[in-house]
Amino acid sequence: MEVNKIYNKLLNEFGEQGWWPIKGKYSPENSYPKNNKQRFEICTGAILTQNTSWKNVEKAIENLRRNKLFTKQAIKKINAKKLAKIIKSSGYHNQKAKKLKEFAEFNKEVNRENLLQIWGIGKETADSILCYAYSQPVFVVDAYTLRIFSRLGFQGNYDSTQELIMNNLDPKYYNEFHALLVKLGKDYCKKKPLCRECCLRDICKFF
DNA sequence: TACCAGGTCCTCG
DNA sequence: CGAGGACATGGT
pLDDT at residue number A80: 97
At A5, the pLDDT band (50, 70, 90 cuts) reads: very high
Q: Are the CB atoms for A119 and A173 separated by under 8 Å?
A: no
What average pLDDT does this structure show over A76-92? 98
pTM of the predicted model over 0.75:
yes
Percent of chain A with pLDDT over 90: 93
SS3 (DSSP) at A80: helix
Q: How many CA atoms lie within 13 A of A37 on its CB side?
A: 8
What average pLDDT does this structure show over A141-147? 96
Percent of chain A with pLDDT over 70: 100
A56 Cβ contacts chain B strand, under 7 Å: yes
- Nearest nt by C1' to A182 Cα: B6
A92 Cβ contacts chain C strand, under 7 Å: yes
A89 Cβ contacts chain C strand, under 7 Å: yes
Average pLDDT of chain A? 95
Spanning CA of A92 to C1' of B5, the rounded length in angstroms is 12
Spanning CA of A49 to C1' of C9, the rounded length in angstroms is 12
Which pLDDT tens digit goes with each residue over A18-55? 989 887 788 888 889 999 999 999 999 999 999 999 99
**Which of A128, A41, A48 has the alpha carbon at shortest distance from A91?**
A48
pLDDT at A103 over 90: yes
Spanning CA of A56 to C1' of C11, the rounded length in angstroms is 9
pLDDT at residue number A26: 87
Give the bases of strand B that a protein CB approaches within 7 Å.
3-10
d(CA A14, CA A148): 16
Distant-in-sequence contacts of A96-103, Cβ < 8 A, 24+ apart: A96/A47, A96/A48, A96/A50, A96/A120, A99/A47, A100/A44, A100/A47, A100/A48, A100/A75, A101/A75, A101/A76, A103/A43, A103/A44, A103/A47, A103/A75
Residues found in chain A: 207
What average pLDDT does this structure show over A60-86? 97
